[in-house]
Amino acid sequence: MTILSILGLLFAIFGTIMLFAYPKLDKENENSFLLFFNKKRSVISIVVGIFFFVLNGMFFYAKPGTAYAVQYLWGGDEPIYTQGIKVKLWGRTISMSYEIPVQDVILKRNENGQLVEELPYGEDMYYRVANQWEFNDAIKAYIGTAVIVGIDVGNDKVFLNMADRNKTENKLVFARIMPNIDAAIKNTCKLISAQDYISGAAADFDRYFRDQLENGMYILQEYYEYEQPEIIGDTLTIRTVENKQSTKQKRYRPKEEGGMKMRDNSNSLKQYGLRILQAQVTDIDWENSFDQRLQLQKEQVAQTQLEKQEAEKEFYRTQKEIARGEAEKAKERAKLEKEQIQKTIEAETQAKVAEFNLMEERKKYEVAQFKAKSKIVSADASYYENLKLVQAGLSPQDKARINKEIAIGVAEKISQLKLPQIYITGQNDKSNGSILQDLLGAELAKKMLVND
C-alpha cells in the first residue's frame, strides 16, 4: 500500500468517525478543535479520502530502469518500459529491473567455520553467502561469482509470460536465477580440477560457467583418465616421475551428439527471455589443505627455478669457455694460413723469376747464335770471292798468299766469335751438333772448295 492510499484511508476513517461523533460533542466548549469538523466537513474528509484511495488505484509511477507488466481487472495485460506516471485502472503491476545483479560473496569465517562478517547491502542488488563447491580432484573451495541478468524488453509476449509465471522479481531471482547459477557452478567444477584451475584453466571455467547459464546445463558423462608420467628437469638433466599408486582417475565431460553438446534445457533462463550480460568468478577461497599444498608447490617451483638457473649458468659458462677456445684456435689457424700463403706466394714468385731468367738466357743465346752465323756467312763470302779470283788466273804464289790470308782471316773471325757459356738446343733446330761442329764443318767445306 502506497503513502497516497494510506493518506486517503486515514482521511476517510477520520471523516467517518467525526460524522457520527459530532452530535455528541460539547457545543459550549468553543475552543475544541473537533468542533471544526461538523457534518459537512466530515463528509468532505470522507470524499477526499476515497478520492485519494481511488486515485492511487488509477495511476502509478514507473521508475527508470524498470519494466512493468500491468494486469487489468478485466483480464488484459500490458507491458510498460518507460518511466513516469502511468494508468493502471486498479490493476496489478509486476515490476522487473532491466538488469538484475546477483553476487555470491565470500565472507570471513573463524576457525570453526562460522561467519564473522555480514553481507553488504545495496539497493537493487541481490547478495548471498558463497557456497563451498568440490572440483573433480576432490578439492573444495568457496567460489564468489558476479552475474548480471538482463530481461528481454523487446518481446512483449515473452516478457508478459515471464512476469505472469514469476509474479515478482524476488521470486524470479531466488527461484530461477540463483538455482541456475548453482547448477552451472556445480557442473563446471566437475569439468575442471583445482590444479588445472590454478595452472591456467580459470578462463575455461568462466567460459563453461557462462555458456551453461545462457544455453542450458551440460549433460555430463563419466570417463577415466590414465595419469601420464611427468617429465621434469632442466637443461642438463631429465627425470621421469610416475605415481604408481594412482594411475586411473575419474573425470567428466559434456556428452556430444552430432558435434554439439547435449544440454538440459528444462530450467534454462533462456526460456524466460533472460540474457546473461555478465558471468564470471570474482574470487576463490581454497580449503586449508590445498592452500598448504600450493605453498609447498610455490616453494618447490622457486627451488627448481634456482637450480635451473644455476645449471644454466654452468652450461653457459662451459659454452663460453668452448667458444673462447674455438676463437683462439681460429686465430691460430688464421695466423698459420697467413704464413702458408706468404710462403706459397714467395715460392711462386721465385719460380716465375727463374722462368723469366731462363727465357732471357734463351733469347741471349739465340741472338749470339745469329750473330755467329752472320759472321760465318760474311767470312764465307770473302772466301768465295778470293777463290774466284784464284780461279781467274792467279799464280801459285798469289794463290798461296791469298789462301794464307783467307786462313788467317777465318782464324781471326773465329777467334773473335764469343760463344755463349750455355748452349741449349731445341727440337725445332735442324742441326743435331754443337756450334763448334757447325764451325768446323764450315771450315772443312771451305778446304774442299780450295782444293777444287
pLDDT (tens place) for every residue of the chain, 452 residues total: 566 667 767 767 767 776 666 555 545 444 555 555 566 777 777 777 777 777 767 888 889 989 999 988 888 889 999 988 888 887 889 999 999 999 999 998 888 878 888 888 878 889 999 999 999 888 899 999 999 999 988 888 989 988 888 889 999 999 899 999 999 999 999 999 888 888 888 899 999 999 999 888 888 888 887 655 555 544 445 454 455 555 567 788 888 888 888 888 776 788 788 899 999 999 999 888 877 777 776 677 677 777 777 777 888 888 888 888 888 888 888 888 888 888 888 888 888 888 888 888 888 888 888 888 887 888 777 777 767 766 666 566 666 777 777 777 666 666 665 555 554 554 454 444 455 555 555 555 555 544 55
- 417 lies in a domain? yes
- 440 lies in a domain? yes
In this structure, the answer to whether residues 107 and 219 fall within a common structural domain is: yes
In this structure, the answer to whether residues 43 and 99 fall within a common structural domain is: no
In this structure, the answer to whether residues 38 and 152 fall within a common structural domain is: no
Q: Could you give the CA distance from residue 437 to residue 431 in angstroms, rounded to a whole number? A: 10
In this structure, the answer to whether residues 197 and 270 fall within a common structural domain is: yes
pLDDT given at position 344: 87
Are 183 and 143 a contacting pair, CB within 8 Å?
no
In this structure, the answer to whether residues 121 and 219 fall within a common structural domain is: yes
In this structure, the answer to whether residues 331 and 245 fall within a common structural domain is: no
In this structure, the answer to whether residues 133 and 226 fall within a common structural domain is: yes
- 18 lies in a domain? yes
- 161 lies in a domain? yes
Q: Could you give the CA distance from residue 183 to residue 147 in angstroms, rounded to a whole number? A: 14
pLDDT given at position 347: 86
- 293 lies in a domain? no
Which phi and psi (to 5°) does residue 125 adopt? Answer: -120, 145
What's the pLDDT tens digit per position in 424-444?
554 454 444 455 555 555 555
In this structure, the answer to whether residues 360 and 438 fall within a common structural domain is: yes
Q: Could you give the CA distance from residue 400 to residue 393 in angstroms, rounded to a whole number? A: 13
DSSP β-bridge partners for residue 70: 78, 93
Give the domain range for residue 147: 94-286
In this structure, the answer to whether residues 226 and 133 fall within a common structural domain is: yes
Residues in the chain, overall count: 452
In this structure, the answer to whether residues 239 and 158 fall within a common structural domain is: yes
pLDDT given at position 431: 47
- 83 lies in a domain? no
pTM (2 d.p.): 0.57
pLDDT given at position 235: 46
- Which of 62, 79, 111 marks a domain boundary? 62
Grid-cell match 534454462, residue found: 268
In this structure, the answer to whether residues 268 and 138 fall within a common structural domain is: yes
pLDDT given at position 88: 86
- 269 lies in a domain? yes
In this structure, the answer to whether residues 426 and 315 fall within a common structural domain is: yes
Give the CATH number, domain containing residue 258. Answer: 3.30.479.30
Q: Could you give the CA distance from residue 231 to residue 237 in angstroms, rounded to a whole number? A: 10
- Which of 256, 286, 316 marks a domain boundary? 286
Q: In the chain, how many domains are there?
A: 3
- 297 lies in a domain? no
Number of helical (H) and strand (E) elements in the chain, helices listed first: 10, 18
